[in-house]
A and B are shown apart, each in its own frame.
Chain A
Amino acid sequence: MSGKHRKVAYYPGCALEETGHAYNRSTKELGKALGLELVELENWNCCGAMEVKNLDPKLQTYLSARNLAIAGKMGFDTVMAPCNGCYHNLKKAEYDLGHDAGSREVVERLSQKAGHETYEAGGVSTIHALDWIKEAIGEDGLKNRVENSLKGLKIANYYGCMYTRPRHIFPEKDKGPGSESTSKPHFMDDLLAAAGADCVEFPLRTACCGGAHTLSDSDISTKLVLNLLTTAEACGAEVIATECPTCHTGLEMHQVRAEKVFGRKTRVKILYFTQLLGMALGLSARRVGVQENLSDASDLLRQKGLG
């Protein structure tokens, strides 16, 4: 254990208050079980997801800058965001404000008019929930605390788009051994393997689930998700582990839609990595919100003696 990230600012984001509630619950429970403290950002706002940028990218930068300024004001230098969309937008704001005078100008103007401090580039840095566990506890730390090993549960780890692309906004990635890779991310594989899972080789780990058009172009989303689900099954996975509420809900929704609209049934279950780690630490399935998932994994978990 490194002593890093023992206490960080927590930015749940909108999705974690609604469809991604199970992710919120399991992240908090996991933190508690590991003795890591999360302090929620006060009066945070939506990061703009994948939508506001299409009206104006600098407005989206402002939305994240406001959240980063709040973290700074609360005395934190690190903010942890479990949602890929939030994480991506905060990282992008950090990058743009460090590199683009035009973005700085707009953020300064809007922050002044809105009446709050302006975020200064470099003041606060963003980490993902995966970085948080990996750096605060690490694989060895986890191994020592596993109470209920995942016992070779076959897992395909799905990272999606926003965790690694575009690469320039993630300056800490691709820095050799120990760092995360943008072409073949592995932090989730590392952590779940430490908890006893058998992580299968899953080539679509950073493929797209069509999350941006989940509702506006449902057929494409269903095709993309179906491809992920069938490939995961072909790789031998019983579970797809996720680390983003949009991907997670997209996979669940389109698994149902693929069956109802295209008549293609798949059996692979979808669980947040925080739920899996929580259960490995001995938390019950209920504590980590398995009943809140659309994808009903209870039978499989019982069969494996988990939860």
Chain B
Amino acid sequence: MPIHEKSLIRPENLAIHEDLTIEGVDVSGHWSTFIKSRAVTDYNEAMEQEIAALPGGEYIHRCWQCGSCTNSCTVNAVNPDFNPRYWIYLIRLGMEEELLRDKDIVWQCVSCNKCTYACPRDVNPEGVMKATAHWLELKGHTDQKPSMAFDEIFSAQVFATGKIEEGRIIRQFFARTGQSLFQDWLLALARGLAKRLPVGLLARLGFAALFRPRTSGWGRAQAAMAEYLGEQQAARRSALGIEEGAKR
């Protein structure tokens, strides 16, 4: 049988016979690609439960591996290594080492929900991608990825004031991720804007910090949300067996 998704097999596990005849039939080249047999013993049996304990991962057990998620996936079309179906397979089996090979791309899910739309089993693969990315970070397998830094900066501002101010978020994000605000394309944008925009709106866009949107009387909502989030985060750390007080 030809091997589907050959890219998923590590090159060292592929055996290709350039010159092979079986029962008088020449099966060289493409037809003689085999996967070397191997024995996997180091399963992480807790992995599925841990990811299921994080928000979005709840329904991972429903997956029947149809592949509709990967087939419809926006990021997969750009990068074939981004493969939700395969990662769910690895997680459910507990093949942590294989999953870790892709640890630096899981966060790239753009939350387009094409997978969730296509999934016949209501797995919510988009949520599983987020849960997996969080799991990798909480377990210390990856540093904080740019999208998570962005989520935190954005959310912190919503929690603090009830509203967001885009210019401020952009400045903080660029600072936290060590990027310059003076990139060619950003400058081109700013120049284009400056030509046409009224000064007041430019100011609002954060080129000057004059405008601070906020929801009034937000303090009590802020306190209630902070308390709730604290509880949730503690519960997640304990589900993952991470000691209290340990930072990521």
Report chain B residues within 8 Å CB of A147.
Answer: none
Q: Does A18 contact B (CB under 8 A)?
A: yes
* A35-75 CB contacts (< 8 Å) to partner B: 43-46, 48-59, 62-63, 66
A55 and B204 within 8 A (CB): no
Report chain B residues within 8 Å CB of A213.
Answer: 108, 110, 146-147
Q: In the complex, A46 Cα to B189 Cα: how many Å? A: 26
A56 and B229 within 8 A (CB): yes
Pick from A21, A52, A215, A257: contact of B173, CB under 8 Å: A215
Given contacts A55-B151, A257-B185, A291-B196, contact A220 B224 (CB under 8 A): no
Least CB distance from B147 to A in Å reads 4
Pick from B55, B117, B197, B215: contact of A57, CB under 8 Å: B55
CB-CB nearest in chain B for A253: B189
A182 and B117 within 8 A (CB): yes
Report chain A residues within 8 Å CB of B33.
Answer: none
Pick from A15, A46, A221, A291: contact of B158, CB under 8 Å: A46
Total number of residue pairs linking A and B with CB closer than 8 Å: 171
Q: Is the interface of A mostly helix, strand, loop or mixed?
A: helix
Q: CB-defined interface of A77-112 with B at 8 Å, one 1/0 digit per residue?
A: 000000000000000000000000000001001100
Q: Is the interface of B mostly helix, strand, loop or mixed?
A: helix
Pick from B117, B149, B201, B204: contact of A165, CB under 8 Å: B117
B188 and A14 within 8 A (CB): no
Query: Is the interface on chain A under 10, 10 to 19, 20 to 34, or 35 or more residues?
Result: 35 or more
Q: Does B239 contact A (CB under 8 A)?
A: no
Q: CB-defined interface of A235-253 with B at 8 Å, one 1/0 digit per residue?
A: 0000000000000000001
Pick from B110, B163, B201: contact of A208, CB under 8 Å: B110
Q: Does A166 contact B (CB under 8 A)?
A: yes
Q: In the complex, A125 Cα to B148 Cα: how many Å? A: 31
A18, A54, A213, A221 pick with most chain B CB within 10 angstroms: A54
B134, B154, B158 pick with most chain A CB within 10 angstroms: B158
Report chain A residues within 8 Å CB of B108.
Answer: 213, 217, 220
The interface of chain B, by Cβ under 8 A from chain A, is 55-56, 74-75, 78-79, 108, 110-114, 116-117, 124, 127, 130, 134, 145-152, 154-155, 158, 162-167, 170, 173-174, 177, 184-185, 188-189, 192-193, 196-197, 201, 204-206, 213, 215-218, 220-221, 223-225, 227-229, 232
CB-CB nearest in chain A for B204: A18
CB-CB nearest in chain B for A293: B196
Q: In the complex, A221 Cα to B75 Cα: how many Å? A: 10
Report chain B residues within 8 Å CB of A216.
Answer: 145-147, 149-150, 173, 177
B225 and A296 within 8 A (CB): no
Report chain A residues within 8 Å CB of B117.
Answer: 164-167, 182
Q: Does A1 contact B (CB under 8 A)?
A: no
Q: In the complex, A30 Cα to B115 Cα: how many Å? A: 35
Report chain A residues within 8 Å CB of B56.
Answer: 57
Pick from A21, A182, A260: contact of B184, CB under 8 Å: A260
The 13 sampled A-B contact pairs (Cβ below 8 Å) are A14-B163, A14-B166, A18-B167, A44-B215, A49-B164, A55-B152, A55-B229, A56-B229, A114-B221, A182-B117, A256-B188, A292-B196, A292-B197
A166, A182, A207, A256 pick with most chain B CB within 10 angstroms: A166
Q: Top 3 nearest A-B pairs by Cβ distance?
A: A113-B224, A208-B112, A114-B221
Q: In the complex, A49 Cα to B185 Cα: how many Å? A: 25
Q: In the complex, A58 Cα to B232 Cα: how many Å? A: 10
B192 and A256 within 8 A (CB): yes
B224 and A166 within 8 A (CB): no
Q: Does A307 contact B (CB under 8 A)?
A: no
Report chain A residues within 8 Å CB of B111.
Answer: 50, 161, 212
